[in-house]
A = this chain, B = another copy of it.
C-alpha cells in the first residue's frame, strides 16, 4: 500500500482535471492574445476560469492574474504593491510563521529599504492581534498574513485581522496567502477585507505550473517581471491555458459538495490525531485543535527521535510525509514555524507533518496508524537520545 500524506506540498492531479485539460493541449491550443478562432477559444477559456476562480474566493470585481504558481503570485502581490505605493509609505507587516514564498520577498524588500515588522505568534500559532493593532500606522502600505499556516494548520482569525488593519489605516493593502486553506477552509476575501490573495492549483489536485493572484479592482500593482505581452496588464508571457483550464476544473471539483468533502477529511484528521495520542507516548501536537485547525493538517513531534528518520522509515513502508516545514527538507535547521511557537529545537527536530486531501482513504489512515507506532518504537530503541 502507498499512502501519500504530503498534500500540503503537492497533490496528485484529479483524473477529471486531466480530462478537462486534454483538449486544450491538442485541439484548443491557440494563443489567447490572438483574435483568430483558435485564439478566441483560448481567450474564452482563460476568461471563464478567471470568473469562476474569483467567485470561489468571494471576489466580485476582482482582477485575476494567472501566474506560474503561488510563489510568483505572492512575489507579484508584495513587490507589485509596494512598488505601486512606495510614495505612500515604506512599512510592511507580516508574521514570523509565513511560508518562505512571503518571507523571502519580505527579506528582499528589507534590503531595498522597506521596514518590515514580523508579528509574533502564541504557542498555537495565532498571531498577536494587539501587536498588529499597535503596529499598523499611516506609512503601513502592506500587511501579508496567511489564512492558514501551511505547516501547523492554525486558522488565523482573518476577519478580525482585516478589521484591525482597515480600522487603523483603510488604505493599507491586506494580502493573504490562501494556498493552504483554499478548497479546505471557507474564505471570503470581501467579507474578510482582504485586498489580494495568492493561490495555487497543484495544492487542490490541479496541475503544477499555475497559480493566481486575485486583487480587488482598485488595487494598484506594478509588474515585477517584464516581457512579451499577455492578457494581463501586469504579468507578461503566454498564459498556460491548459493549466488554467485545469485549475478551474480542480476548483470546481473542490467546491462541489464542499462541506461533506471537508467533513470527511476532518474525520480522518481527528482519527489520526486521537489514535497517535492514544497509542504513542511522548508526542506533542503542534498548532490548534478542532475548528481552529485546518481539517487537512496534522503535525506531531515524537520526542527523542529525528523527523528525518521517521520520514525515511515511513517512506520505506509506503507512506509519504513531510518533516517540519516544507522548505526544511534539504537543510537540517529546525522549522522556523515551530521555533516561532516556542517549540524546543530538539523537539522540533522530531516533527512530522501529515497533510490530507479528499483523495486519501480511511484505509490509508488505518495503515499509517498501524505502521507509525512500530517505526517510532524501533527508532526510539536505536536513538542515542535519552527517553
- A binding-site residues for B, Cβ under 8 Å: 2, 4, 6, 9-13, 15, 17-18, 22, 25-27, 29-31, 33-39, 67-72, 74-75, 79, 99-102, 104-105, 107-108, 200, 202, 207-210, 224-229, 236-243, 311-312, 314-315, 320-322, 326-327, 329-330
Q: For the complex of A and B, list the 3 residue pairs with the smallest distance between their C-beta atoms, beginning with the closest.
A: A209-B240, A71-B237, A71-B227
Chain B residue contacts of A238, Cβ below 8 A: 10, 69-71, 200, 202, 208
Asked whether B229 lies within 8 Å of A100 as measured between CB atoms, the reply is: yes
Q: List 5 A-B contacts (CB under 8 A).
A: A10-B238, A37-B315, A101-B237, A207-B240, A208-B240
- Cα A105 to Cα B200 in complex, Å, equals 26
- Cα A243 to Cα B201 in complex, Å, equals 14
In the complex, residue of chain B having the shortest beta-carbon distance to the beta carbon of A13 = B25
A209-B242, A243-B243 given. 5 additional CB < 8 A pairs?
A: A9-B33, A30-B320, A35-B329, A36-B312, A101-B228
**Minimal beta-carbon separation of A146 from chain B (angstroms):** 13
Asked whether A26 lies within 8 Å of B10 as measured between CB atoms, the reply is: no
Asked whether A29 lies within 8 Å of B12 as measured between CB atoms, the reply is: yes
Chain B residue contacts of A99, Cβ below 8 A: 228
- Cα A146 to Cα B141 in complex, Å, equals 40
Known contacts A34-B9, A71-B225, A72-B227; A210/B207 CB under 8 A: no
Question: Taking each of A67, A72, A75, A208, which has the highest tally of chain B beta carbons within 10 Å of its own beta carbon?
Answer: A208
Asked whether A243 lies within 8 Å of B208 as measured between CB atoms, the reply is: yes
Q: Report copies per complex.
A: 2
In the complex, residue of chain B having the shortest beta-carbon distance to the beta carbon of A39 = B320
Chain B residue contacts of A108, Cβ below 8 A: 226
Chain B residue contacts of A207, Cβ below 8 A: 25, 240, 242
Asked whether A10 lies within 8 Å of B30 as measured between CB atoms, the reply is: yes
Known contacts A104-B226, A228-B101; A18/B10 CB under 8 A: no
**Minimal beta-carbon separation of A9 from chain B (angstroms):** 5
Asked whether B29 lies within 8 Å of A11 as measured between CB atoms, the reply is: yes
Contact of A208 among B4, B208, B236, B241 (CB under 8 A): B241
Asked whether B227 lies within 8 Å of A36 as measured between CB atoms, the reply is: no
Chain B residue contacts of A38, Cβ below 8 A: 4, 6, 320
Chain B residue contacts of A6, Cβ below 8 A: 31, 34, 36, 38
Chain B residue contacts of A79, Cβ below 8 A: 226
- Cα A102 to Cα B104 in complex, Å, equals 26
Chain B residue contacts of A102, Cβ below 8 A: 227
Contact of A75 among B18, B69, B227, B320 (CB under 8 A): B227
Question: Taking each of A18, A37, A207, A327, which has the highest tally of chain B beta carbons within 10 Å of its own beta carbon?
Answer: A207
**Minimal beta-carbon separation of A278 from chain B (angstroms):** 26
- Cα A202 to Cα B209 in complex, Å, equals 14
Question: Taking each of A67, A102, A200, A315, which has the highest tally of chain B beta carbons within 10 Å of its own beta carbon?
Answer: A315
- Cα A330 to Cα B13 in complex, Å, equals 35
Known contacts A12-B29, A26-B13; A34/B72 CB under 8 A: no
Asked whether A71 lies within 8 Å of B9 as measured between CB atoms, the reply is: no
Asked whether A100 lies within 8 Å of B240 as measured between CB atoms, the reply is: no
- Cα A132 to Cα B85 in complex, Å, equals 40
Chain B residue contacts of A72, Cβ below 8 A: 68, 225, 227, 237
**Minimal beta-carbon separation of A362 from chain B (angstroms):** 21
Chain B residue contacts of A241, Cβ below 8 A: 208
Asked whether B22 lies within 8 Å of A18 as measured between CB atoms, the reply is: yes
Contact of A101 among B25, B227, B326 (CB under 8 A): B227
